[in-house]
Structure 1
Amino acid sequence: MTDSYTRLVNTGITKTLAKKLGLPRPAVLRRHRPGDPLTVGPVLVLSDAASKADADRVAQALLAWELDVRRDPVELRADPGRLGAVVLVLTELARPQDASEAVLAAGSVLRKLAPHGRVVTLSRARTEQDSPELAAARQGVDAFCRSLAKELRAGATGNGVVLTDGAAAGSTSALAALRFFLSARSAYVDGQLLEVGPTDAALPTSWDRPLEGQVAAVTGAARGIGAAIARTLARDGATVVCVDVPAAGEGLARTANAVRGTALQLDVTAPDAGTRLLEHARARHGRLDVVVHNAGITRDKLLANMDAARWDSVVAVNLASQLRINAQLLEAAERGEVSGLRVVSLASTSGLAGNRGQTNYAFTKAGVVGHTAATGPLLARHGGTANAVAPGFIETDMTRAIPFATREAARRLSSLLQGGQPVDVAEAIAFLASPAAAGVNGQTLRVCGQNMVGR
């Protein structure tokens, strides 16, 4: 679905007119294309005094990615060029007052941040064992990151990598998360803090094809976000099993053919759906590495007008089916039929903030967040992970049905002043599905341009 306003204020005479009138001008976001540079310019790495060693490790990793890495903000002030990103390492921050020099140094160069630039913080999660002073400093970084993200313009975003359980700043998953946030793959991810734990996983041999050799199943793959997920996983090297109901057979075949995968006509609410999915993947491709729970429906109604059919059907498709499939996959893992499984589920910002007329939908999407957090440790016993992606306003057939005025308002409420595209959801899923993201488990990553509906 086209966002006509964004197109108009970025082209021709209407662009000039919008500037003169001071109208909001959403940027045309820079999205990933294979072969494009990772960032749009040099990367400045800053830190507080205590985190300098970690900042050095991060800078070395960025240099290995062939990025132009800078360490001195003073030198940059006289440089006429633009910055592609600022990485602010605060992993060893111990007191709130110790953040001052580093954050103000970052602030001093923000006007040099290029359109589509990135700001990424690296910090540590607050724990129950922290002193009040340490807890205050660590929690402060979270809100600092979210607030800074709201100040950025021209398609620039701010996000944070939050280390847990003693994870090192230079660990595989920390660097993979940092690279995701720096890249155009995270175009519609803004103001998010992703917790990353320790892992023994290796970095991919090819960042363009991090899913090479993997077999992934995507439910609801016949169209929309599901089809975008299938295309993105295939682009990243995966063999894709495209799953949808028999009634969607034509669209399902089209998606499967486009990604050179296989099609499986399957109702996810079937009692043996998980077993059949695994059997198909193993019979046709020899293994199953990734399962993406994308299938979902809406049956919106105010609760006063809600009937059992609307409530129960949404619960059956959006939540109960995922729980049943996951249980069957866990049983298979215990039998040694699958290992290292990455499960990624579709939640929604409606499940995090609530939304009028969507009590049933919000219930199920919050349930996805809940079961993801609980399933993660169960899969970890078999080398796997469970994570979720919570889209906000995404340009799909579903949002096309929203009345015009409501749809336009919803588009402009995010920090990026626009809706996202199905590929934005797909990019986040592809990252969480990758072996390098093994240290991300039980998390829900919002893909919403820093907007929460319902609040």
Structure 2
Amino acid sequence: MSDTYLNLVNSGITKDVAKKLGLPRPAELRRTDPSAVDHPLLPGPVLLLGSGPDDTVADSLAQTLLAWDLDVHRTLPNRTLGAIVLTLTDIEHPEQVGERVLELGEALRSLAPSGRVIVLSRPAADTDDPAVAAARHGVDGFTRSLAKELRAGATGNGIVLSDGVTPGSPSVTGAVRFLLSARSAFVSGQFVHVTTTDGEVPGDWTRSLAGRVAVVTGAARGIGAAIARTLHRDGAEVIGVDVPAAGEQLAQVMNEVGGTALQLDITADDAAQRVIDLARSRHGRLDAVVHNAGVLRDKLLANMTAEKWDAVVAVNIAAQLRMNEALLSADGLAPDGLRLVSLASTSGIAGNRGQTNYGYTKAAVIGMTRALAPRLAEQGGTANAVAPGFIETEMTAKIPPVPRQVARRANSLQQGGQPVDVAETITFLLSPQAGGINGEVLRVCGQNLVGQ
């Protein structure tokens, strides 16, 4: 659905009127153009800020960025910047941070529209010295606050490297590239935790899923269809699943991506086995599953019926649990380890009025994901969740006009996301370069003003 207000304040005479009146002016975000043959990673050079000339983390990052043909600077150039990367992995006391973050603050004046800021740090642990824990955990509040100060479509995010994880680890490299790129347009104020050195840097960043087979539930429309298209773009063979009533739309999407359509109610007792059997017969393997299917039955709890509560639980969480158990028990199905991504929601993080059933199930998805992560890691796989905020879909188009406008503006980017924004994040988490990211919940919400 088109955001008429965003279009008006960025074009013609209405743009000038909005400026004079001081109205909010959400920017047109830089997204990947699927029709572009050579899409630049950034709209300008990268400024890399660290502790000084002996910062080995910054040196390693510089080599990675240079290998991508980026223009890398260690001091502020007299040019508009495409991105700023700040390393804080070495800090052990809060008093060490000021000089570096103030240098970043000065550089922000040169950041291009839809520019990127990335902060690399280490996690705080209960066993750390209090000063170390304070310094490290402070990065969380700093980065989230910084992201809310950025304007013109720029985003700020963090990458947290666990002990033993280096900047050259595949998932650090993958996270840096994802967060620098146009693929992360609606991800801001978030942290990607890289916990292991697992993963593999692809030979072709644009086809990182070549040879992989992925199932997407709820693939007939909206976010599910965007996921199928994005997975296909990056080389995956797609099996799209949706209810028989959506069969015609599902067939259209699968024809578009050269995939296989499976009309199926995922709450059926044999749903998981049918998915497994199709993957084996058609492709001989199954590498990834995206649990996207979900339903809404919104009511205030005082007016909630058992039918509405049970329907949401059945689709949004119970079906996933059954399917996951079957997938984990299917010997030889995923030769390189199964990758799972489940759709959570900001409603499952911060709650939402009239959505006690939906909020319950989306929070349940987060709990399920974190519990599955170590089990899948034993088999070489990962389990992660993506929590969208307000995304422009057929569902959100039905929200009354005033609440819809409020929901659109209630994030740092002051607009709704697009289905492709969710799809890009899921595709990254399923990629070989994300093998060291496990048990994460990554929000795609433009840094929604509720929750973390």
**Shorter-normalised TM range:** over 0.9
Cα pair 1:51 1:89 within 8 Å, conserved: no
Q: Distance in 2 between matches of 1:443 and 1:61?
A: 24
Q: Report the residue type matching 2:266 in the other structure.
A: V
Q: Structure 2: 5+ residue runs without aligned partners?
A: none
Q: Distance in 2 between matches of 1:121 and 1:432?
A: 19
Q: Distance in 2 between matches of 1:197 and 1:58?
A: 18
The offset of 1:282, in angstroms, is 1.5
Q: Distance in 2 between matches of 1:452 and 1:349?
A: 10
- Check if 1:395 corresponds to 2:398: no
Q: Which residue is 2:59 aligned to?
A: 56
Q: Report the residue type matching 2:316 in the other structure.
A: N
Q: Which residue is 1:345 aligned to?
A: 342
Q: Distance in 2 between matches of 1:377 and 1:450?
A: 28
Cα pair 1:385 1:438 within 8 Å, conserved: yes
Q: Report the residue type matching 1:67 in the other structure.
A: L
Q: Report the residue type matching 2:415 in the other structure.
A: Q
Cα pair 1:256 1:262 within 8 Å, conserved: yes
Structure 1 residues 445 and 50: alpha-carbon distance in aligned structure 2, compared to 1, 3 A threshold:
farther
Of the three residues 65, 69, 72, the one matched with 1:69 is: 72
Taking structure 2 as the reference length, the TM-score comes to 0.97
How do residues 28-427 of structure 1 correspond to structure 2 at under 5 angstroms? 28-33=28-33, 34=36, 35-49=38-52, 52-73=55-76, 76=77, 79=78, 81-332=79-330, 335-339=331-335, 340-427=337-424
The offset of 1:200, in angstroms, is 3.6
The offset of 1:199, in angstroms, is 2.4
Structure 1 residues 454 and 119: alpha-carbon distance in aligned structure 2, compared to 1, 3 A threshold:
closer
Q: Distance in 1 between matches of 2:210 and 2:332?
A: 22
Q: Structure 1: 5+ residue runs without aligned partners?
A: none
Cα pair 1:266 1:273 within 8 Å, conserved: yes
The offset of 1:16, in angstroms, is 1.2
Structure 1 residues 51 and 262: alpha-carbon distance in aligned structure 2, compared to 1, 3 A threshold:
farther
The offset of 1:274, in angstroms, is 1.8
Q: Distance in 2 between matches of 1:286 and 1:50?
A: 51
The offset of 1:439, in angstroms, is 0.5
Q: Distance in 2 between matches of 1:166 and 1:272?
A: 43
Q: Distance in 2 between matches of 1:50 and 1:315?
A: 55
Q: Which residue is 1:433 aligned to?
A: 430
Structure 1 residues 6 and 392: alpha-carbon distance in aligned structure 2, compared to 1, 3 A threshold:
same
The offset of 1:49, in angstroms, is 4.9
The offset of 1:51, in angstroms, is 7.8
The offset of 1:436, in angstroms, is 0.7
Cα pair 1:355 1:454 within 8 Å, conserved: no
Cα pair 1:50 1:92 within 8 Å, conserved: no
- How big is each residue's C-alpha offset from its partner over 1:389-427, in whole Å with a ceiling of 9 and x where there is no partner? 000000011111111100001111100000000000000
Higher mean C-alpha deviation, range 49-58 or range 198-207: 49-58
Q: Distance in 2 between matches of 1:72 and 1:87?
A: 12
Please give the root-mean-square deviation of Cα atoms over the aligned residues, in Å. 1.3
Cα pair 1:119 1:158 within 8 Å, conserved: yes
The offset of 1:380, in angstroms, is 0.6
Cα pair 1:341 1:384 within 8 Å, conserved: yes
Q: Which runs of 4+ in 1 moved over 6 A?
A: none
Q: Report the residue type matching 1:321 in the other structure.
A: A
Cα pair 2:412 2:449 within 8 Å, conserved: no
The offset of 1:281, in angstroms, is 1.1
The offset of 1:165, in angstroms, is 4.0
Cα pair 1:159 1:181 within 8 Å, conserved: yes
Taking structure 1 as the reference length, the TM-score comes to 0.97
Cα pair 1:51 1:93 within 8 Å, conserved: no
Which secondary structure state, in structure 1, belongs to the residue aligned with residue 171 of structure 2? helix
Q: Could you tell me the percent identity over the aligned residues? A: 64
Q: Distance in 2 between matches of 1:46 and 1:37?
A: 22
Q: Distance in 2 between matches of 1:150 and 1:200?
A: 32
Q: Report the residue type matching 1:91 in the other structure.
A: T
Which secondary structure state, in structure 1, belongs to the residue aligned with residue 280 of structure 2? helix
Q: Distance in 2 between matches of 1:197 and 1:258?
A: 37
Which secondary structure state, in structure 1, belongs to the residue aligned with residue 313 of structure 2? helix
Cα pair 2:114 2:153 within 8 Å, conserved: yes
The offset of 1:452, in angstroms, is 4.4
Q: Which residue is 1:27 aligned to?
A: 27
